[in-house]
Amino acid sequence: MADEMELDLVEISPNAEPPVCRIIDYQKFLYQQKKKQKEIKANAAKVVLKEIRFGPNTDEHDYNFKLKHAENFIKEGAKVKAYVFFKGRQIVFKEQGEILLLKFAQELEDIAKVDSMPKLEGKRMIMMLSPKTVKK
């Protein structure tokens, strides 16, 4: 029958009793499968990570400027990694750095949730923020 229709006989389920076969155009079948895989891959969420760097003594104007950038990043759906970088002896201002990051998180709490609280890793105090999911 497949030869008469100039199509291919494809075994769909070999373990079934009796084995299941289908008469289809095999090349078209492969093309459609590839297309589905590509579509699934395209729809997968791509996580973008943006970094925002502060110093322990960051001025109010600079802080507000970086806050606006973070808001834009979060509204676009990107995760934000905010960190305070301590140079030399600035490490004695750890508390100031932590206060700065907590203030940053508090001002973004409407649109973002804190993934990890500020923690010191070497000369950096890091905090991760991600956009709040919108319930549909």
Report the amino acid identity of residue 25.
D
Q: What is the pLDDT of residues 8-35, one digit of tens each?
A: 888 888 888 888 888 888 899 899 999 9
The pLDDT of residue 94: 86
How many DSSP H helices and E strands does the chain contain?
4, 6
Residue 99: enclosing H or E segment and its boundaries? Answer: helix 94-107
Domain parsing of the chain, residue ranges: 2-43, 49-131
Of 122, 62, 63, 116, nearest to 94 (Cα)? 122
Fold (CATH) for 49-131: Translation Initiation Factor IF3 (3.30.110)
Is the torsion defined by CA of 89, 91, 92, 95 positive or negative?
Answer: positive
Q: What is the pLDDT of residues 55-78, one digit of tens each?
A: 888 889 999 999 999 999 998 888
**Number of Cβ within a 10 Å radius of residue 117:** 12
The CATH number corresponding to 2-43 among 3.30.930.10, 3.10.20.80, 3.40.50.300, 2.60.120.620 equals 3.10.20.80
